[in-house]
């Protein structure tokens, strides 16, 4: 069913090269901002080509604590323990106001 919904969108996206280019530029810029923000806080990160950044923490306990603190801020990290990485969190880039909120 979903393949039928996405089929009409595919040619439209190809026509919108300007939109795709701008979107890619925004993701790159915001990802670099996240890198800088996390690295300034002495967090270890994994390089990415997507709109997400993976944070590596020293222990499962620190990962749990950071997850809870982020949730209190209404920021939803992806705890990737189900993928065998219990000391990692995945965060994604957002709009300027969302990124500013995260940095508070």
Q: What are phi and psi of 58, to 5 degrees?
A: -75, -25
pLDDT at 3: 54
The per-residue pLDDT of the chain, averaged, comes to: 79
pLDDT at 4: 53
Question: Which residues does 57 contact at the CB level (< 8 Å), separation at least 6?
Answer: 43, 44, 63, 66, 87, 88, 89
Give residue 9's pLDDT band: very low, low, confident or very high (50, 70, 90): low
Give residue 1's pLDDT band: very low, low, confident or very high (50, 70, 90): very low
Q: Give the Cα separation of 17 and 2 in Å (integer).
A: 23
pLDDT tens, residue by residue, 11-28: 766 667 788 888 888 888
Query: Which residue range is the domain that position 59 belongs to?
Result: 2-103
Cα distance between the two ends of the chain: 42
> Any idea what DSSP says for residue 7?
H
Task: Tally the domains of the chain.
Answer: 1
Average pLDDT of the residues in 57-61: 91
Please name every residue paired with 79 in a beta bridge, in sequence order, or none if there are none: 89
pLDDT at 61: 93
């Amino acid at each position: 069913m979903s393949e039928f919904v996405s089929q009409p969108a595919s040619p439209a996206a190809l026509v919108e090269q300007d939109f795709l280019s701008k979107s890619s530029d925004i993701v790159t810029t915001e990802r670099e901002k996240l890198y800088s923000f996390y690295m300034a806080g002495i967090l270890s990160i994994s390089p990415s080509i997507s709109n997400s950044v993976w944070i590596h923490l020293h222990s499962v306990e620190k990962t749990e604590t950071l997850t809870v603190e982020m949730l209190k801020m209404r920021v939803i990290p992806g705890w990737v323990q189900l993928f065998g990485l219990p000391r990692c969190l995945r965060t994604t880039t957002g709009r300027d106001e969302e990124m500013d909120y995260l940095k508070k």
